Amino acid sequence: MFWNVCSITNKLPLIDILNSQYRTDVLCIAEHWLAATDINNLVIPGYVTADFFAREEHLHGGVLICIREGIEFIPYAKLSCFSEELVCELAAVLLPSRSTLVVTLYRSPTGNLS
């Protein structure tokens, strides 16, 4: 499931409701609005943080991939070098048992393309 949450902290109860209804294996979240230290402390019951990008210089933005507990994953670091605040914010995870690469991308409407 992909969701542009515009701040995850006030959406955690909704994530629990969606999880109880749909039992999603992968959560791809854009605009989490958290700092890296906050993501390391983030708890979404039943999920582990697999990969993320958090802004350091600008407010808001960021992407996050959470995987249901028990599902094998490998953070796909080959794409992280392409992440740039406001331009291309990426998180990527390989699911080896499914031969699947999951990528979450956010591009700010105020970012510069040149």
Q: How far apart are CA 29 and CA 12, in angstroms?
A: 12
Burial class (CB in 10 A: 0-12, 13-18, 19+), 53: buried
Kindly report the pTM of this predicted structure.
0.93
To 5 degrees, how large is the angle CA 3–CA 8–CA 14?
A: 70
pLDDT at 34 over 90: yes
- Enter the CATH code of domain 2-106: 3.60.10.10
The residues spanned by each domain of the chain are 2-106
**pLDDT for res 6:** 94
How many residues belong to the chain?
114
Instruction: Label residue 30 by pLDDT band (50, 70, 90).
Output: very high
**pLDDT for res 18:** 86
Instruction: Label residue 43 by pLDDT band (50, 70, 90).
Output: very high
Strand order in the sheet with 26-30: 2-4, 26-30, 63-68, 47-53
Q: Dig out the tokens for 48 from the structure.
A: 């582990």
pLDDT at 41 over 80: yes
Residues of the chain with pLDDT > 90, as a percent, come to 82
